[in-house]
Structure 1
Amino acid sequence: MEKILYREGFTAEELPNEVIERIKGVSYKENPHVKLGDLAYLRVRYYDFEHKVQSGELIVARKLAQEVLDILYELFEGGYEIEKIRLVDEYDADDERSMADNNSSAFNYRVVAGTNTISAHSYGRAIDINPLINPYIVGNKVMPANATEYADRDKAFEHKIDRTDLCYCIFRRHGWKWGGDWNNSKDYQHFYKEYDSPLKMAVNKLKRALLR
């Protein structure tokens, strides 16, 4: 893919060699489902919790690169705060460690916690936002383990993702789904884009254009 120069500080490109070296054997494992060429490397800008501008990096599905740049740019323009955006490889691809540090990330070839199902993160089709404050809850288990104070979603606190939150509104407008809408578990940090048929993609694109 040609490098996308979206806005100042917002770019997408095929995985540079130095990034490939960083992720091989860590977040990227040899597998029959996802090739390195299926992924794209993004640089984005965001506001941290002190509302200072920072630069972050993400790996997402190559086909979603432009769309993710759109979403992150809209969040930036809206002044939305994200504590940090780092590759999960900085945590040895340990999802619990990354979440516990409130790191927002995307690609990580792994299974869904507690299952044998390959996660949407494995395809670069999911992004977790401020995961410490917006934990994954299944039964009485809260992940990350240090997020119990944020498990009660009736409480008011900063950076909470709910259906009124700007992050939720922007992701949903782009056709992404939210783990907070699940019935048997709740993944409040988790936004994901399912595979669509070409016809469905065209219809959804038209719907989003009408909503703008």
Structure 2
Amino acid sequence: MRLPRPLRVVLPVLAVAVLAAVPSGAAAADPPYRAVVRALSPQERADMTPSVWRRGCPVGFARLRHVSVPFVGFDGRVRRGAIVVHDAVARDVVEVFRALYRARFPIRRMQPIQRYGGDDYASIEADNTSAFNCRAATGSGRWSQHAYGRAIDLNPLENPYVSGGTTSHRGSVRYLDRRARPGVIVEGGVVTRAFDARGWEWGGRWSGTIDYQHFSADGG
């Protein structure tokens, strides 16, 4: 058995961080966990404007980071995904997805929301895990925590936004029954434990309207 390489962190000028570790308890064939955190490229900034970011958004491009991580898909195969978050929570995000990778918690897909033209509904329909999107909170005129890059929606079809006991996504209807199944977030499971360890709030604990997919560093 090969010994794991020591943790390696690289932080050059544009806040690029590389973290590597052999996952404990993962499948023997799984590659080591390697997360990359970097500033947004000029092309990414252009792709995000104006559908995902525009003048007047509560956070500027300079404070946003592209976070790339490996994840285990629903078919058990390792893939690589990316989300955009605020630089202040990038380390939290790396560690949360490290915990999910080690536990082989399945994720459908993970792409920055500009792939869906900033359309939250389309991203949910694709069961896409996403973070930054300069938009108002659902049913509100105030900024969502997604507009600050401080919130993540994880496996949104398996973990629906529920209002009045219903969901607006047909693919989520069977997940109104919150039995533990692949990709479903449950109280005390690996996902809630990972976010709780970093002080993030889970929308699955809200009263009234419940948002099972939603985790926020600042609440709301």
Do these two structures clear the TM 0.5 threshold for a shared fold by scoring above it? Answer: yes
Whether contact under 8 Å (1:88, 1:108) holds in the other structure is yes
Measured after TM superposition, the shift of residue 103 of structure 1 is 0.5
Whether contact under 8 Å (2:105, 2:182) holds in the other structure is no
CA distance in 2, matches of 1:9, 1:19: 21
**Alignment of 1:43 onto 2:56:** no
CA distance in 1, matches of 2:165, 2:103: 35
- Match of residue 137 from structure 2: 112
- After the TM superposition, which of the residue ranges 67-76 and 136-145 deviates more from structure 2? 136-145
CA distance in 2, matches of 1:32, 1:112: 13
Measured after TM superposition, the shift of residue 152 of structure 1 is 2.5
Whether contact under 8 Å (2:52, 2:117) holds in the other structure is yes
SS in 2 for 1:108: coil
Whether contact under 8 Å (2:85, 2:150) holds in the other structure is yes
Deviations 1:189-212 (A, max 9, x none): 0011018xxxxxxxxxxxxxxxxx
**Alignment of 1:90 onto 2:103:** no
- Match of residue 188 from structure 2: 164
Alignment of 1:186-205 (within 5 A): 186-194=210-218
**Alignment of 1:26 onto 2:51:** yes
Whether contact under 8 Å (1:134, 1:160) holds in the other structure is yes
- Match of residue 4 from structure 1: 17
Identity of matched residues, %: 28
TM-score, normalised via structure 2 length:
0.83
- Match of residue 127 from structure 1: 152
Gaps of 5+ in 1: 196-212
CA distance in 2, matches of 1:127, 1:32: 18
CA distance in 1, matches of 2:37, 2:93: 9
CA distance in 2, matches of 1:9, 1:103: 21
Measured after TM superposition, the shift of residue 157 of structure 1 is 3.1
CA distance in 2, matches of 1:114, 1:21: 28
TM-score, normalised via structure 1 length:
0.86
What is the aligned residue count? 194
Whether contact under 8 Å (1:106, 1:127) holds in the other structure is yes
CA distance in 1, matches of 2:180, 2:195: 22
Measured after TM superposition, the shift of residue 146 of structure 1 is 3.3
SS in 2 for 1:162: coil
Measured after TM superposition, the shift of residue 105 of structure 1 is 0.5
Measured after TM superposition, the shift of residue 118 of structure 1 is 0.9
Distance 1:67 1:157, change over 3 A: closer
- Of Structure 1 and Structure 2, the greater helix share is in 1
- After the TM superposition, which of the residue ranges 172-181 and 71-80 deviates more from structure 2? 71-80
- Match of residue 200 from structure 1: none
CA distance in 2, matches of 1:20, 1:148: 35
Whether contact under 8 Å (1:100, 1:147) holds in the other structure is no
1:17 to 14, 36, 42: 42
- After the TM superposition, which of the residue ranges 2-11 and 108-117 deviates more from structure 2? 2-11
Distance 1:141 1:116, change over 3 A: farther
Whether contact under 8 Å (1:121, 1:127) holds in the other structure is yes
CA distance in 1, matches of 2:98, 2:213: 18
Which letter does structure 2 place at the counterpart of 1:11? V
Measured after TM superposition, the shift of residue 95 of structure 1 is 0.6
**Alignment of 1:147 onto 2:160:** no
Root-mean-square deviation over aligned CA pairs: 1.6
Gaps of 5+ in 2: 1-13, 21-32
